[in-house]
Amino acid sequence: MIKYLTITCLAFLTITQVFSQNTSAKKETPPKEVVYKEINGTKLKLSFYYPESFNKNEKYPTMIFFFGGGWNGGTTAQFNDQATYFASRGLITVLADYRVKNKHKTTPFDAVRDAKSAMRFLRIHADEFCVDSNKIIASGGSAGGHLAAATTMLPELNEAGEDLSISTKANALVLFNPVIDNGEGGYGYERIGDRYLEISPMHNITKGAPPTIFFLGDTDKYVPAETGRVFKTKMEAVGSRCDLFIYKNQEHGFFNKGKQKGNTYYLETLYEADVFLESLGYLKGKPTIKLDKK
């Protein structure tokens, strides 16, 4: 009898240990920072935010953010707060670094190649990072909004040597005053010139473009309100959804946290982006942001 009890206790302890190991494994998260590309001596990184309830045996809708700065400068810190919020709502969120003129002596074309590399990396390593490849949201502000749209709408500007069978297209776009029109009269034309058809999302809208939400201020000197209206019209002409929000008396960058007292438009744009993503089935439940007018 004693021998039997000993064996039973040992077996119970073994089962308990295995169960404990499996439980902790479910909570284990992948790396929070990873190099997605190394080019000309520059290492470009992705920084990850995970939901509190993260389970490595599940796949998550994933939102990647590209910072603004006219393709000249900027840092991934711009979207720290948005990334933290959407991770709290159940998404994996990612901040993407890319090459800029001031630091790397590069062009907008290089920035697009980097953004596409980042998207391709997410799909190639989807299993490792628990990314749902069918629910990737690309987002960004200003030049970063351009890059988010460019990953999805531009057929060319891929980095040499990458596997082009891996799609860089997002399944949804969340755009904060993006420089979406790079044609004559649009932002960046003086740097892009006759190559604008290669790089301008406005000129590459085709059937199958993903559902998009577009935020803009009506006094933006870089992206006129009419540009947003034209983009919406062109999107709907090919059968794609485009929710356009134009905010009165707001300038470029109005959506950034700290831009106004009380963070009015940071909160409003975050709220509407949440509602948009919930409507697509990427989020569950109502936004956790509370707005006075809602």
Tokens matching residue 279? 């409507």
Domain residue spans in the chain?
1-30, 32-279
Whether 15 has a pLDDT exceeding 70, the answer reads: no
Tokens matching residue 118? 């980042």
Whether 13 has a pLDDT exceeding 70, the answer reads: no
Whether 53 has a pLDDT exceeding 70, the answer reads: yes
Average pLDDT, rounded, for the chain: 91
**Alpha-carbon distance 188 to 173, whole Å?**
21
32-279: CATH class: alpha beta
Sequence-separated (6 or more) residues with CB below 8 Å from residue 134: 171
Condensed to tens digits (0 to 9), the pLDDT of residues 170-189 reads 999 999 999 999 999 999 99
Residue 11, Cβ density class (10 Å: 0-12 exposed, 13-18 middle, ≥19 buried): exposed
Condensed to tens digits (0 to 9), the pLDDT of residues 181-239 reads 999 999 999 999 999 999 999 999 999 999 999 999 999 999 999 999 999 999 999 99
CB 225 within 8 A of CB 246: yes
Question: What would the mean pLDDT of 110-129 be, rounded to a whole number?
Answer: 98
Check residue 282 and give its pLDDT.
98
pTM given for the model:
0.90
Question: What would the mean pLDDT of 43-54 be, rounded to a whole number?
Answer: 97
Three-state SS at 243: strand
